[in-house]
Amino acid sequence: MRLVWNKRLRGALLGMAVLGAGAAIAAPALKVTLAGGSVGGAWSTMGTAIGETIRLEAPGSSFTYEPGVDAANVQLVSTGKVQLGITHAQMALRGIKGEAPFKQKTADIKAIALLDPTAAVQIVVRADSKIASLEQIAKDKMPVRIALNKRGTMMAVAGEEVFKAAGITMDDIAKWGGRVDYIDYNTGLAQLKEGKSDLVLNMLAFPSAQVKNMARDVEMKLIGLDKSVIDKMNADVGTKAVTIPGGSYPFADKDVQTVTGMVVLVASEKMSEEEAATIAKGMVAHYGYLEKAYPPFSRMGAKALPDVAPLTLHPGAAKAYKEAGLLK
Which phi-psi region, left, alpha or beta, contains residue 198 (left: φ > 0; alpha: ψ -120 to 50)? Answer: alpha
Would you state the pLDDT for residue 13?
A: 40
Nearest to 279 by CA among 67, 111, 118, 116: 111
For residues 142, 143, 147 and 149, what is the CA-based torsion angle, rounded to 10 degrees? 80
Q: How far is CA 128 from the centre of its chain?
A: 33
* Predicted TM-score (pTM) of this structure: 0.78
Tell me which H or E stretch contains 262: strand 256-268
β-partners of residue 241 are 259
Q: What CATH code is assigned to 119-261?
A: 3.40.190.10
Which amino acid does the sequence have at 235?
A
Sequential pLDDT tens for the chain (328 residues): 333 434 443 444 444 443 344 444 668 999 999 999 888 778 899 999 999 999 999 999 999 999 988 899 999 999 999 999 999 999 999 999 999 889 999 999 999 999 998 889 999 999 999 999 999 999 999 999 999 988 878 989 999 999 999 999 999 999 999 999 999 888 999 999 999 999 999 998 888 888 999 999 999 999 999 999 999 999 988 899 999 999 999 999 999 999 999 999 999 999 999 999 999 999 999 999 999 998 889 989 999 999 998 899 999 999 999 999 999 8
Would you state the pLDDT for residue 26?
A: 65
Check if 2-116+264-323 and 119-261 are the same fold. yes
Peptide linkage before 207 cis (omega within 30 of 0): yes
Buried b (16+ CB within 10 A) or exposed e, 268-279: beebeeebbbbb
Rg for the chain (alpha carbons), in Å? 24
71 and 87 in contact (C-beta within 8 Å)? yes
Q: What CATH code is assigned to 2-116+264-323?
A: 3.40.190.10
Domain ranges of the chain: 2-116+264-323, 119-261
Distances (CA, A) of 327 to 97, 240, 273, 305: 26, 20, 16, 10
- Write 212-216 long-range contacts (CB < 8 A, 24+): 212/249, 212/250, 214/124, 214/189, 215/249, 215/250, 215/251
Would you state the pLDDT for residue 12?
A: 43
